[in-house]
Amino acid sequence: MATRRISSGSPFEKAAGYSRAVVKGDWCFVSGTTGYDYATMIMPETVEEQARNCLKTIGGALEEAGFSLSDVVRNHYYVTDASFSDRVFPIFGEVFGDIRPAATMVVCDLIRPEMLIEIEVTAFRG
């Protein structure tokens, strides 16, 4: 079974030696994705805008891999402030409300001060 690697074009992928997503059989593992617009490397100021950018990047990687957001079975959310949960939950509900993957949210520091949220997903095509 071949392994397929997907890139979003983020300079972090090359520098840190990782892929945006890795496909193995019916599984797609999407790396932690922050809110940058990777075409411009601009980071929005609000956690809501960052969350939407994360989901756009993740959706694009899944699509390139032959999956969709409806195939997502597991989400990990990392936020830098617990109060952000109330601000991003409605956004996640719009995207995942009918899919309802297993999910965890962790409050932690991220590697750059402008990063307010990071999202990692796993998808299964069954």
| pLDDT tens string 35-68 | 999 888 899 999 999 999 999 999 999 999 999 9
Global pTM reads 0.94
Overall size of the chain counted in residues: 126
Residue 7 — pLDDT band, cuts 50, 70, 90? confident
Helix (H) or strand (E) segment spanning residue 27: strand 27-34
Q: What is the largest CA-CA distance in the chain?
A: 43
Q: Which residues are paired to 121 by β-bridges?
A: 30, 75
CB of 19 closer than 8 Å to CB of 13: yes
- Residue found under tokens 């100021």: 45
